[in-house]
Amino acid sequence: MEYIPNFIFALIFFVGVSVFIRNIRKVILNIKLGKKSDRSDQLLKRARNMALLAFGQSKMIRRPIVGILHLIVYLGFIIINIELLEIIIDGLLGTHRVLAPFLGGAYDILIGTFEYFAFLVIISVFIFWIRRNIIRVKRFWNKEMVGWPKLDADLILYFEVILMSLFLLMNASDYLIQTNYPLQEEYIKVGYFPISKFLAFFLNGISLESLVLIERTSWWLHIIGILFFANYLYYSKHLHIILAFPNTFFANLEAKGRFKNIKSITEEVKLMMDPNNDPYNNNSIDQSVPDKFGASDVMDLEWIQLMNAYTCTECGRCTSVCPANQTGKTLSPRKIMMDTRDRLEEVGKNIAMNGEFKEDGKQLIKHYIMPEEIWACTSCNACVEECPIDIDPLSIIMSIRQYLVMEKSEAPADLNNMMSNIENNGAPWPFNQQDRLNWVQEL
């Protein structure tokens, strides 16, 4: 009978880990639906980019107050979960604070650090909740942030408060047992509790049995809550907790203003402009042509663009600096990423159900992203520059534009006129070369 709690813990733990691994595999399989793109160059520069953006959160600190609060929550979440190692060992072996005898005084420092961070996390999350729901910062209330995105953002804040509170309540009851009932063999006197000892004031006078019940209940709810939170990430914008690291590592390192051209078209244009090229010699032309120019659906995008979609934090910084959005246009770079992720999830479920993709009469453009959104973009790269983790909405916009122009000839009338003029007159104006020189005669 004494091993039943250990067995229950092992069962809950391994089920939670198994579901987490399954969800991560689904994300990876969906990302692999994208086209290949080599991002294996400049490894040192990529590692530096990841260290600065994902670990160091250098772009977050550009807005100091919010950046520091986010850094506290980020560090608190990582540092406090170091204790998971001890919780897992205790749960599997039936021990209590098993690492304390091995770490000595360092254990007290660790527990104290965990508690300070837990308290700071609760304060930071409370401020975030006020900004989102009372101050109502504009970028959190765009039209795409309704329904699930709005609820998800709030649920994350509630989860973090609950997990940190359970951690402090567990320590508070443990502290009282150690202090008031020192003869309890299992609850050895160990640890430094700078925050929970004040919380213990509200538990004074409670019997030993009740304190043990509170400590054990908090312990179980804390670990179950962490496992639940880990598996909730798949359905949440907080998947970036995991994907921010590979996303910043594989981010585009080219200059922001450099666009990626279609290779076959670039080669053809070069040949057309080469005076030494024989236009009747087919051997001088690369005959390989892509199956589709640009992207109409998620399978046409590169894998890094799909990873971008899963990594999006929905913070809205990209949309808040978008000049098109600020002037009332329908474009929201955040919505581009959210729509791409939603469509990718739909395609992934389609493949999982049918073994392969079964046409569903939908595609990314026109069913999720409207053409007027795509054409509102000024390609200024403000969204890319502002994103804290180097997500690139512009690359998706340009890929869809290529499809609309080259596959469907559905560019806006002004753009079609300009392209026709370039083709016929060698310039964007509706005058041939001779007419453009008429002003010279007047001189």
The secondary structure of 237-279 as a DSSP string is GGGHHHHHHHHHHTS--S-TT-----HHHHHHHHHHH-TT--T
Q: How many domains does the chain have?
A: 2
Domain that holds residue 272: 263-429
Residues 197 and 159 in one domain: yes
Can you give the pLDDT at residue 256? 82
Can you give the pLDDT at residue 78? 84
Phi-psi region of 284 (alpha: psi -120 to 50; beta: other; left: phi over 0): alpha
Any idea what the Cα angle at residue 147 is, between residues 146 and 150, rounded to 5°? Answer: 65
Domain boundary among 198, 214, 249: 249
Is position 402 within any domain?
yes
Can you give the pLDDT at residue 3? 81
What stretch of H or E contains 290?
none
Domain boundary among 249, 278, 310: 249
Is position 438 within any domain?
no
- Could you tell me the two tokens for 33? 């639906």
Residues 141 and 206 in one domain: yes
Is position 91 within any domain?
yes
pLDDT tens-digit profile, the chain (443 residues): 668 889 999 999 999 999 999 999 999 999 999 999 999 999 999 999 999 999 999 999 888 999 999 999 998 888 887 888 999 999 999 899 999 988 888 999 999 999 999 999 999 999 999 999 999 999 999 999 999 999 999 999 999 999 999 999 999 999 999 988 887 778 888 889 999 999 998 998 899 999 999 999 999 999 999 999 999 999 999 999 999 999 999 999 998 888 888 777 777 777 777 777 665 665 555 556 677 899 999 999 999 999 999 999 999 999 999 999 999 999 999 999 999 999 999 999 999 999 999 999 999 999 999 999 999 999 999 999 999 999 999 999 999 999 999 999 898 988 888 888 887 887 888 877 667 667 677 77
